[in-house]
Amino acid sequence: MATVEVNVGNWRTTLTGGWVLIKDVKAPHVLEIGEFAVTEHNKEAKTELKFKSVVMGATEIVNGVKYLLVLAAMDGAVTKYYEAGVYESCMGYKKLTSFKHILG
């Protein structure tokens, strides 16, 4: 089992299992997953966050791919940071599994 530590400012989490850090957070598919997370959160929470970037993230392969991303999003004129969990099946189906404010 691998242990991955993720740190952003004062926020920190440790992932155990088969998590692997994403090396290129600007890769088109990673950005697509980040935009999906913000869009789905907006639908569920009736908010109007604007996706800005993926700051960092990790993936775990489990009959599909689980993503844990730290996202930057605009809340009005303020940049805030969020932790988002997304599951993507082998068939391309995506589901937002978690979304929480962590900084800003």
CATH number of the domain encompassing residue 69: 3.10.450.10
The model's pTM: 0.86
The answer to whether residue 2 sits within a structural domain is no
Read off the pLDDT of each residue in 25-44 and give the average, rounded to a whole number. 98
- pLDDT at 15 > cutoff 90: no
Reduce the DSSP state of residue 48 to 3 states and report it.
coil
Which pLDDT does position 30 carry in this prediction?
98
The answer to whether residue 11 sits within a structural domain is no
The answer to whether residue 83 sits within a structural domain is yes
Instruction: Give the rounded percent of residues in the chain with a pLDDT score beyond 90.
Output: 76
Read off the pLDDT of each residue in 79-102 and give the average, rounded to a whole number. 96
The answer to whether residue 10 sits within a structural domain is no
Q: Mean pLDDT, the chain, as a whole number?
A: 90
- pLDDT at 1 > cutoff 70: no
Read off the pLDDT of each residue in 28-50 and give the average, rounded to a whole number. 98
Instruction: Give the rounded percent of residues in the chain with a pLDDT score beyond 70.
Output: 84
The answer to whether residue 9 sits within a structural domain is no
The answer to whether residue 3 sits within a structural domain is no
Q: Report how many domains make up the chain.
A: 1
The answer to whether residue 78 sits within a structural domain is yes
Containing structural domain, residue 33: 19-103
Task: Name the CA dihedral angle for 48, 9, 100, 45, rounded to a multiple of 10 degrees.
Answer: -10
Closest CA to 40 of 93, 86, 79: 86
